[in-house]
Amino acid sequence: AAPGRQSYKIASIPADGIGPEVISAGITVLQKLSEELDTFDLEFEHFDWSSERYRKEGKYLPDNALEIVKGFDAILFGAVGAPDVPDHISLWGLRLALCQPLQQYANVRPTRILRGTSSPLSNCKIGDLDWVIIRENSEGEYAGHGGTSHMDEAWSVATEVSIFTRHGTERIMRFAFETARSRPRKKLTVVTKSNAQRNGMVFWDRVATQVGKDYPDVEVDKMLVDAMTTRMVLKPESIDTVVATNLHADILSDLAAALAGSIGIAPTSNLDPTRKNPSMFEPIHGSAFDITGKGVANPVATFWTASEMLLWLGQKEAATLLMEAVENVTEAGVKTADLNGKSGTVEVTDAVSVEIEKLA
């Protein structure tokens, strides 16, 4: 590396379906940025941890997977899921098997309308919808705590216990308040279902109030998750930063992505804010087997994901330039079918590379 250039080691896990197509597009634009700017180098190592590996070896990950990824500065992840593997096996076998032990407790999901694209909401223009949804990513409804009994009997039962610890709830609240504070509007909406779920959700609200005392400059409101869905549709401009549980934020962020134009543009970051472990960056969308191999997958979610990764690594100039390039391309009408365009994955990727060259 040239003097003064930062060098980063990135573990790439393209995995299933359109994962390899969009990750390859993402790496192309990241390499282009690294060539055009004098600030950083990227070294990628690829891992074949996928449903194909699961079929062959009965496991998604090798035993030393965590040790391996801990040697990297960040992880770039595609999508996991295959038609012949139950979703709970693939999700827990790969994605959650990394996120949870790596203590990536903050899942960050920025959403806004990109130039040249539109929201399905006719009343919603660029700037009206500019949100960051913070999802608790380590416990709650996805704690994996529960069990089944008498499964073959008429009286079979299953439990799925939500877990909210003081440690887990406090750290995500602090992260959410910090995020809200870093944004111009300094507004945080705390989402629960505390009217019906009177233990964990009332606790969640209580911790929010306690942590909020350290952030008097942040304006807070509390909202039930059902009411939140209608607010997102009817008053998008009233929302800025949102913090919600693992399950609630999962649902809200799919809605958010659709309201911003397409699931094909939405990025997500699984962060370990302590920076003891590498963080993991991925498009929100899944493996999308209905369009796999057709060359039509929207790579924008992965470009935005790459931009979020650069931001986390401290390369703000490159991160901003990448999104500028992406929006110049969408504004010029070079878009995939999910954004009502006619271009394919490679065409969009090439157009973004050309834009990077112009802007750098």
DSSP character string of 301-317: HHHHHHHHHHHHTT-HH
Question: Does residue number 266 form part of the binding site for ligand ATP (CB under 6 A)?
Answer: no
Helix (H) or strand (E) holding 247: helix 246-259
Question: Does residue number 301 form part of the binding site for ligand ATP (CB under 6 A)?
Answer: yes
Question: Does residue number 139 form part of the binding site for ligand ATP (CB under 6 A)?
Answer: no
Q: Which of 30, 75, 79, 232 binds ligand ATP (CB under 6 A)?
A: 79
The residue count for the chain: 360
Question: Does residue number 285 form part of the binding site for ligand ATP (CB under 6 A)?
Answer: yes
Question: Does residue number 162 form part of the binding site for ligand ATP (CB under 6 A)?
Answer: no
Q: Which residues does residue 100 pair with via DSSP β-bridges, in sequence order?
A: none
Q: How far is the CB of 33 from ligand ATP (least distance, A)?
A: 20
Token pair for residue 43?
A: 């070294």
| 261/286 with CB nearer Mg ion | 286
Question: Does residue number 291 form part of the binding site for ligand ATP (CB under 6 A)?
Answer: yes
In the 8-state DSSP scheme, what is residue 121? Answer: S
In the 8-state DSSP scheme, what is residue 113? Answer: P
Token pair for residue 334?
A: 């070079």
Residue 126 to residue 1: CA distance in whole angstroms:
40
Q: How far is the CB of 263 from ligand ATP (least distance, A)?
A: 5
Question: Does residue number 286 form part of the binding site for Mg ion (CB under 5 A)?
Answer: yes
Question: Does residue number 100 form part of the binding site for ligand ATP (CB under 6 A)?
Answer: no
Interaction partner, residue 19 (ligand ATP, Mg ion, none; CB < 5-8 Å by kind)? none
Residue of minimal CB distance from ligand ATP? 286
Question: Does residue number 78 form part of the binding site for Mg ion (CB under 5 A)?
Answer: no
Q: Which of 42, 288, 310, 326 binds ligand ATP (CB under 6 A)?
A: 288
Pairing assessment for the beta strands 267-271 and 140-149 based on DSSP bridges: unpaired
Only one of the segments 23-31, 56-64, 235-243, 280-288 lies at the binding site for ligand ATP (rule: CB under 6 A); that segment is 280-288
Only one of the segments 35-43, 201-209, 233-241, 288-296 lies at the binding site for ligand ATP (rule: CB under 6 A); that segment is 288-296
Only one of the segments 154-162, 186-194, 238-246, 283-291 lies at the binding site for Mg ion (rule: CB under 5 A); that segment is 283-291
Q: Please report the sign of the dihedral spanned by the C-alpha atoms of residue 220, residue 226, residue 228, residue 230.
A: negative
Place of tokens 């609200």: 205
Q: How far is the CB of 123 from ligand ATP (least distance, A)?
A: 24
> In a 3-state reduction of DSSP, which class is residue 228?
helix
Helix (H) or strand (E) holding 337: none
Footprint (CB under 5 A) of Mg ion, residues 2-31: none
DSSP character string of 79-106: E--BTTB-HHHHIIIIIHHHHTTTT--E
CB atoms within 10 A of CB 149: 10
Contact predicate 281/117, CB 8 Å: no
Instruction: Using CB under 5 A, list all residues that contact Mg ion.
Output: 286
| Residues near ligand ATP (CB under 6 A) | 18, 22, 79, 81, 87, 263-264, 285-288, 290-291, 297-298, 301, 336, 338
